[in-house]
Chain A
């Protein structure tokens, strides 16, 4: 859960120079941008933990907080899966391979893998929320023998919105049970229809006390996911959510990302449910 700012620069405002190496269209309005550091020394020093994010910088346009969605053992190439939602992301989507931009990071807390070896792990993602969880999948599968049952429950609006479908079979082969569901169907979909919490409720949990659950998606989805998980007997201290707020400086100095007493840029974005349960219920906090 601690942030691994392994290559913290002395100036928290200064961005590294990166190049856009590859752009992979994912779903309508969503693409993955692989970024590479121009400075090899920075590339060598940079590491991140699953769940952490970078501030991507387009000079003249602005910065945007994006979770790193790649393999944490590969610090050279940093994929970021981004949905167009505003000015910066719209400009980003217009950049071509080879484009130059800035990057500050990594920031934030991470999904707690180290302390949960031996447990069954359930990942519940909604929409673009699979992007910050993909590094967890890579880390879990790279150390498969250290964990019990591994399950991914993933919901999207439509089948076209499901991220990384080309990887599901590979994940299944390596020991991750992947189940998907959609809110509404299109022709040719023969999978689940309905909310992702229903998939959780259908699961037999052989040892709920030894199960940890990580969830990332819209706040309402995460809330009901957590409540279902609690009803299934997963202890509060085994539940983790990833929250979002306006992010401006990402270094705890500007005040924008506060959620109650928490700074999402340094205390979060990943929180144990027990830590934030009381403030999650408060409207407009």
Chain B
């Protein structure tokens, strides 16, 4: 268990996601984390299912698809190294808004949402840092979504 946690600690560090935390603090998160290797094509989570884990992508990529009636599965985003998925596991039992499918063989850090929540409640310092990094990650995701929405590459015809 210790050996695997050491690896988890190293891998979480590698993602850069929680770099504000000290090794001691990060070890507490590593203790409740799991490392998963997933092959291309594996469905990580279904759209609409309850979100129980936070995922941090170490290597590889995950495709997010949303189902639209009569249009089928629409791929809205691919997520790669250093990025997170399933953040709503951290603050309640919200449902996944997209289906996550492994695109390229990936290594993921998986953190059970409830245990991470408990850890954050118990250690407010860790909790604050985790929420801070979540906020940064979400604001980046929001900006990226807005840039996609702006459709900057659309053809413009003269008036």
- The answer to A–B direct touch (Cβ < 8 A) is yes
A interface residues with partner B (beta carbon < 8 Å): 29, 83, 85-87, 126-127, 155-157, 161, 181, 183-185, 189-195, 197-199, 201-202, 204, 217-218, 220-221, 224
Q: Which 5 A-B pairs have the closest CB atoms?
A: A157-B153, A127-B153, A218-B152, A185-B75, A202-B80
Interface flag for B68 (CB, 8 Å): no
B155 & A201 in contact (Cβ 8 Å cutoff): no
Q: How far is the CA of A112 from the CA of B62 in the complex (A)?
A: 36
* Minimum Cβ distance to chain B for residue A187 (Å): 9
B interface residues with partner A (beta carbon < 8 Å): 61, 63-64, 74-83, 103, 140, 143-144, 147-148, 150-158
The one of A29, A192, A201, A221 in contact with B61, judged by C-beta atoms closer than 8 angstroms, is A192
A86 & B148 in contact (Cβ 8 Å cutoff): no
A198 & B153 in contact (Cβ 8 Å cutoff): no
Interface centre among B61, B74, B80, B154 (most CB of A within 10 A): B80
The one of B63, B80, B144, B158 in contact with A195, judged by C-beta atoms closer than 8 angstroms, is B144
Q: Is the interface of A mostly helix, strand, loop or mixed?
A: mixed
Q: How far is the CA of A170 from the CA of B82 in the complex (A)?
A: 29
A157 & B154 in contact (Cβ 8 Å cutoff): yes
* Minimum Cβ distance to chain A for residue B96 (Å): 17
Contact A181/B150 with A83-B155, A85-B158, A198-B144 known, Cβ cut-off 8 Å: no
Q: How far is the CA of A86 from the CA of B79 in the complex (A)?
A: 37
Residues of chain B with a CB closer than 8 A to A126's CB: 152-153
A221 & B144 in contact (Cβ 8 Å cutoff): no
Residues of chain B with a CB closer than 8 A to A156's CB: 153
Q: How far is the CA of A195 from the CA of B141 in the complex (A)?
A: 10
B75 & A157 in contact (Cβ 8 Å cutoff): no
Contact A192/B156 with A183-B151, A185-B75 known, Cβ cut-off 8 Å: no
Interface centre among B64, B74, B78, B151 (most CB of A within 10 A): B78
* Minimum Cβ distance to chain B for residue A274 (Å): 23
A192 & B157 in contact (Cβ 8 Å cutoff): no
Q: How far is the CA of A183 from the CA of B148 in the complex (A)?
A: 6
Q: How far is the CA of A193 from the CA of B74 in the complex (A)?
A: 11
B148 & A194 in contact (Cβ 8 Å cutoff): yes
Residues of chain A with a CB closer than 8 A to B150's CB: 220
